[in-house]
Amino acid sequence: MNPSKPQHYRIIACALLLLLLMLAPFLLGARRPPQPLPDSPIIDMHCHTAGLGAGGSGCFVSEKLRNSFKLRFYLKSFGVTEEEILREGDALVLRRLSAKLAESKHVSRAVVLALDGVVDEHGNLDRARTEFYVPNEFLAAEIPHHKNLWWGASVNPLRPDALARLDWAKTHGAVLVKWLPSVQDIDPADERFIPYYKKLAALGLPLLTHTGNERAFTHAHDELCDPARLRLALECGVTVIAAHAATTGEFANEPSLDHLAKLMTEFPNLYADISSLTQINKRTHLAKVLSRPEFTSRLVYGTDYPLIAIRSLVSPWYFPRELGLKQTVAFSKIKNPWDRDIAMKQALGVRTETWTRFESLMSK
């Protein structure tokens, strides 16, 4: 039996109203007004570079990674080709990065990160087990040529001269130390590292260390990136920044994020950066971090550049309900990757003080 015409119209009207309510966030825009950007300049404290050893840089990439699609993907995101690097040297990547950053309206500086390798039982660099290597000496020599760049050192604590390397890095302008434990075979909970941690604290160098799962390389020992393993460094007084806020992976059947949040309640010297948290594979992660009270005053701005420059990976179109149609279209037209990243994260709820927190950490 067919419904009468009035009933038929009411069903259609209800269906249209329901559809309108579902689309309202997308059509009308963000649900909450964003906090303003700071008046002071913004620093991106989490950027990468790449190198093939061209120009005597000392960088290298393992044969396995060099033959994988990932290297070509990364080089494209830097805006370079392998042929250009081999012709002009690895410093070309830094020149392109600096030039693009100079076009940003909001970000005045970026910290480019070195990456130490795996160390063997004799304390030497183990090239066979190292996938990607960017030496401190290369960045210390090249970064001074770019007024808008700082650099972060990377020193594997298993090196016999690790403490001397930290002193050298600080003297040559490093503003932090970077670890990727699951790739460098570093266990942050190893008590042999206590002198290393005390040296970091004495030098005032924050430790930026990857937390959660790692999928940028061909292999990783993810258990080494459990935030719970950072307790020793924190107890030694190190200012620790958990890269990517431990938003991926589980350890001991608990989300990595929960492990980090528990430590936040105990240690005021623990922070987390918001780099990579708007990627399509992490599109819900920034909202999770912003909703946790443990992180309210502990977040630091970083991007994981060059990945923010890849529109198939990071795009406002992946947040239609959160941003709304008007902002989604407007943000997608922003050409500079840093300005686009800031516009998105600001609209998604990042607090004003987050943008400039890193500079205060350098003086702790």
Provide the residue ranges of all domains of the chain, joining segments of one domain with +: 42-361
Which CATH fold would you assign to the domain 42-361?
TIM Barrel (3.20.20)
pLDDT at 215 over 60: yes
- Closest among 337, 257, 342, 329 to 295, alpha carbons compared: 257
Please state, in angstroms and rounded to a whole number, the distance separating the CA atoms of residues 94 and 149.
Answer: 9
Tokens 């460098």, residue?
184
Please state, in angstroms and rounded to a whole number, the distance separating the CA atoms of residues 206 and 201.
Answer: 8
pLDDT band per the 50, 70, 90 thresholds, residue 213: confident
Please state, in angstroms and rounded to a whole number, the distance separating the CA atoms of residues 168 and 150.
Answer: 15
The pLDDT of residue 24: 52
**CB of 144 within 8 A of CB of 136?**
no
pLDDT tens digits along 10-31: 656 555 545 544 455 555 554 5
pLDDT at 152 over 90: yes
Is omega for the bond preceding 306 within 30 degrees of 0, making it cis?
A: yes
Burial pattern 299-320, b for ≥16 Cβ within 10 A else e, equals bbbbbbbbbbbbeebbbbebbe
The pLDDT of residue 220: 72
Please state, in angstroms and rounded to a whole number, the distance separating the CA atoms of residues 62 and 74.
Answer: 14
Burial pattern 322-361, b for ≥16 Cβ within 10 A else e, equals bbbeebbeebeebebbbbbbbbbbbbbbbeeebbbbbbeb
The pLDDT of residue 362: 83
pLDDT, the chain, mean: 91
Mean pLDDT across 101-109: 98
The pLDDT of residue 63: 86
Amino acid at 342: I
Mean pLDDT across 299-314: 96
Please state, in angstroms and rounded to a whole number, the distance separating the CA atoms of residues 48 and 55.
Answer: 18
pLDDT band per the 50, 70, 90 thresholds, residue 269: very high
pLDDT tens digits along 239-252: 999 999 999 999 99
Q: How far is CA 241 from CA 79, 159, 302, 313, in A?
A: 28, 22, 11, 24
Q: Three-state SS for 15? A: helix
